[in-house]
Amino acid sequence: MRETRKQAYEPRLTQLSTPTKDGFTTFYNDDMIRVMISDLPVEAAWQGIIDGYKEKGLDRMIEEVNAEARELGIE
């Protein structure tokens, strides 16, 4: 089993407000349960969850947050 490390993050990004981010909701607990009880391989189950978030604007939200971060000088 591979060990993983917690990813570094910029706390100020969690406080940013963008039109898409303000209305975006994730369901971490539900997502993890769906992965655990799925008959699909973990990678396939997780990809389905990510695809669902992309349909709801995940990529647009990431673009907005990155643009706002650049304006604030956050790399």
Query: Whole-prediction pTM value?
Result: 0.77
The reply to whether 32 falls in a domain is: yes
Overall domain count for the chain: 1
Q: Is the pLDDT of residue 63 over 80?
A: yes
**What digits encode the pLDDT tens for the residues 15-56?**
889 999 999 999 999 999 999 999 999 999 999 999 999 999
**Is residue 66 in a domain?**
yes
Residue 17 lies in a domain: no
| Cβ(73)–Cβ(16) below 8 Å | no
- Tell me the C-alpha distance between 2 and 57, whole Å: 31
| pLDDT on residue 1 | 66
11 part of a folded domain: no
What pLDDT score was predicted for residue 44?
97
Tell me whether residue 36 is in a domain: yes
Decide if 57 is inside a domain: yes
User: What's the domain range around 44?
Assistant: 24-71
- Rounded to whole angstroms, the Cα distance separating 58 from 75 reads 20
Provide the residue type at 10 as one letter: E
Residue 4 lies in a domain: no
pLDDT of residue 9: 82
Confidence (pLDDT) at 12: 87
